[in-house]
Structure 1
Amino acid sequence: MKIYTRKGDDGTTGLLFGGRVTKDSARPETYGQVDEVQAVIGVARAHAPRGEELDEILTGIQRDLWVLMADMATDGPNREKLVAGTTLVTPEMVAPLEELIDEVATRFEPPTEFVIPGGTVVAAHLDVARTVVRRAERVAVALAPESTSALAYLNRLSDLLWMLARWQEGTSLRSRDA
């Protein structure tokens, strides 16, 4: 099997369950942003100790992002073909993010004001991932149908990444002197 198909040489791309759109249209832009999120989280994961809790958390998120990309890569008429939790983001995928945010928050005293990112390499990469998630969320707003929880997932994910970055730093550098 070859990686190239030549079908996109005309500037179009195929959507999940059929249909083609230009590569600069809203769907490819949205799932492309999510693909970038997944890659940036991979960079953070590459700096985290293998097999430990953070690695496992980030791997789970990366798996969820495949579902989110499938959700965003499916056009309206084909959305009925989506499968909850497999190709469609569900509230049941958002809830564990909220639980994890709350649980991680008990491990340290979260900052109450803006912080300067970069306390550790892992935390810095998590903060970059958080900003890419926020960008993906802004793009997804124009696209996300009411029937999906993709926007809620992205919103909670950015919160979780912020919390994970602060946890990895241990002590955050505040944006101003006290």
Structure 2
Amino acid sequence: MDFLIGGLAGVGAGFFSNPFDVVKTRMQLQGELRAKGLWRGAHGMMLRNSTGSASQIVAYAMCKEWMDNNNMFQQSKYLPAFLASNIGAIVKTITLTPMDVIMTRLYNQGVDAQGRGLLYSGLADCAMKITKTEGVLAFYKGIGPSYFRQAPHSVLLLVFWDMLKDLQKSYQPLSV
């Protein structure tokens, strides 16, 4: 059951958020459109995903706990989860967008004969060059479409998660 609901949430979020991801990527893209090597930049993507997931879950949990402790929005069983998941999406977007800009630049830069980047030598070099040439706000190119990509995923995932936890609590196995 968990797998099915999680899969359906992922399908729905992926379908509705895909156009925003395309817009975000095009806004962030500079350099060549060709990328060689599926694992190039994997260390950055692992850092990106762990940071994004951690910030989303912590923001969600803290916000939901605060609302529950203060008896806020109790008129609906899942309104606190909905609101907290949106806060989680905002925090995740703010956290991820700079990494997305860096990863897009690294993925799309040309490489020399040895496979080394022509523009950036790594994450830190890319971040420093963006800051120096474009300023700090360049790290937030595409933040609007990025939020509209993250929000459906966060809301569906975390609200369904709360629903599944409630189903699990109320589940009474049949005794034989």
Bucket of the pairwise TM-score, normalised by the shorter protein? under 0.3
TM-score, normalised by the number of residues in structure 1? 0.25
Query: Greater share of strand residues, 1 or 2?
Result: 1
The structure, 1 or 2, with the larger RCO (C-alpha pairs under 8 Å, 6+ apart) is 2
Query: Greater share of helix residues, 1 or 2?
Result: 2
TM-score, normalised by the number of residues in structure 2? 0.25
